[in-house]
């Protein structure tokens, strides 16, 4: 049966990890239902999922009791179990969070306390030779060793989820190269209008990432938040320098800045990524330093929260932007953690754009944010650790779907 059949029990818009995990979990529970996952790109996981740092997050940073904290813990356990069962490339290798200055040690201690409160076990505060035994080239006063952190091939994960959906029900579809223009509810019918025609869907779930706010408002819905993109650029270690990083090395995050800072990550293919920085993106899906979209830029700048955010983080934001265009500045930041690293050991890498929901007062939405609008469920905000938490977020979405059915 081809695309000529346009009726589905469930349509999921967005083939990143959250969208595919949700479609997969629904298909498991409803094996006779026809599910369609719509993706405007020619392959799955082309944006945030396929361009993130490839880390299985432990859940150590997040506010206890928050949606992020609960779903990261649950999602991580589900993710590792899924990867083992379905042979998705991964390694629960552990990481160190490193304080390089005395004034960072109290922050490190508060992170340790938060991790324990979130239910993490076997965390260790280490120093001196104990740090060097794990990461021989690191400069650190003290560090937390986090054994639950790991790495995974998120693209491979998404490809496996897509495969399983259509294996459970061969009449289900992963509909690629199909851009969703709007949703509709009229004449007793509901569905979506796309670049490849109209599809009728009994239920709709939007996991649209960088386009989440736009998709949520095609039926005239109003949101109090807007999506703003932040690009992150990476460098890689040259082959002759890969031995300097064994697994994952993180700094103590700046509590005044909403990103984790540049870090070192061993990827599942053996490469070592360094970064990312975090700069305002003038194009939501713009992966080069000069990418620009008039629409995306104007939409961001017209939203009142954007200028308030810029004013609040002006100095840090300018520093991040300078680093985006200066390998030397990038190296200086990395040298805080690894003083021996040199210019010739860094080579330019890839980049990604993080979708971040922003409030009108200029504060970032700090948690996952899901809205039920008309006959649809919209995932509005799903920044890191959403990839780690994807299978748990899917459970929450399907719980809301069931609840809305019974109302």
Coil, strand, or helix at residue 40? Answer: coil
Residues 285 and 313 in one domain: yes
From 324, 342, 359, give the residue that closes a domain: 359
Residues 378 and 355 in one domain: no
| 3-26 residues labelled b (16+ CB within 10 A) or e (exposed) | eeebebbbbbbbbbbbbbbbbbbb
pLDDT of the residue at 239 = 97
Cα distance between residue 164 and residue 394, in whole Å: 15
Q: What is the pTM of this model?
A: 0.95
Residue 134 lies in a domain: no
Kindly give the parts of the chain with pLDDT less than 50: 1-4
pLDDT of the residue at 322 = 86
Span between the terminal Cα atoms of the chain, in Å: 34
Residues 234 and 319 in one domain: yes
Residue 332 lies in a domain: yes
Residues 186 and 296 in one domain: no
Residue 265 lies in a domain: no
Q: At 204, which helix (H) or strand (E)?
A: strand 197-206
DSSP state of 344: G
Residues 231 and 310 in one domain: yes
Number of domains in the chain: 2
Q: Is the peptide bond before 385 cis (omega within 30 degrees of 0)?
A: yes
Range(s) of the domain holding residue 235: 226-239+273-359
Residues 341 and 371 in one domain: no
Residue 105 lies in a domain: no
Residues 308 and 333 in one domain: yes
pLDDT of the residue at 200 = 96
Residue 159 lies in a domain: yes
pLDDT of the residue at 2 = 42
pLDDT of the residue at 4 = 42
Residue 262 lies in a domain: no
Residues 279 and 317 in one domain: yes
Tokens of 114: 């938060």
């Amino acid at each position: 049966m081809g695309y000529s059949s346009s009726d589905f029990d469930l349509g999921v818009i967005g083939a990143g990890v959250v969208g595919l995990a949700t479609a997969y979990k629904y298909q498991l529970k409803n094996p006779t239902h026809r599910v369609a996952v719509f993706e405007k790109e020619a392959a799955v996981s082309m944006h945030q999922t396929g361009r993130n740092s490839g880390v299985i997050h432990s859940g150590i940073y997040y506010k206890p009791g928050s949606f992020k904290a609960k779903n990261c813990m649950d999602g991580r356990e589900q993710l590792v179990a899924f990867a083992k069962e379905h042979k998705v490339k991964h390694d629960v290798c552990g990481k160190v969070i490193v304080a390089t200055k005395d004034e960072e040690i109290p922050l490190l201690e508060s992170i340790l306390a938060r991790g324990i409160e979130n239910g993490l076990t076997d965390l260790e505060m280490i120093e001196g030779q104990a740090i060097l035994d794990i990461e021989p080239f690191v400069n650190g006063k003290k560090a937390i060793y986090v054994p639950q952190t790991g790495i995974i091939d998120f693209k491979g994960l998404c490809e496996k989820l897509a495969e399983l959906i259509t294996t459970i029900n061969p009449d289900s579809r992963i509909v690629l190269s199909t851009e969703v223009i709007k949703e509709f509810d009229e004449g007793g019918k509901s569905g979506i209008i796309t670049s490849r025609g109209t599809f009728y869907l009994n239920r709709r779930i939007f996991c649209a990432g960088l386009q989440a706010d736009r998709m949520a408002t095609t039926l005239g819905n109003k949101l109090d938040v807007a999506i703003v993109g932040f690009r992150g650029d990476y460098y890689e270690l040259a082959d002759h320098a890969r031995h300097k990083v064994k697994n994952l090395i993180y700094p103590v995050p700046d509590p005044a800045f909403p990103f984790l800072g540049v870090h070192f990550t061993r990827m599942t293919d053996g490469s070592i990524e360094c970064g990312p920085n975090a700069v305002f993106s003038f194009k939501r899906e713009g992966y080069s330093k000069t990418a620009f979209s008039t629409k995306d830029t104007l939409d961001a700048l017209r939203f009142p929260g954007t200028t308030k955010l810029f004013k609040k983080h002006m100095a840090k934001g300018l520093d991040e932007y300078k680093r985006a265009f200066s390998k030397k500045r990038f190296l200086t930041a990395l040298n805080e953690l690894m003083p021996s690293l040199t210019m010739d050991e860094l080579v330019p890498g890839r980049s990604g754009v993080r979708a971040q929901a922003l409030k009108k007062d200029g504060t970032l939405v700090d948690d996952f944010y899901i809205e039920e609008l008309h006959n649809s469920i919209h995932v509005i905000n799903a920044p890191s650790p959403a990839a780690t938490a994807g299978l748990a977020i899917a459970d929450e979405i399907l719980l809301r779907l069931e609840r809305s059915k019974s109302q």
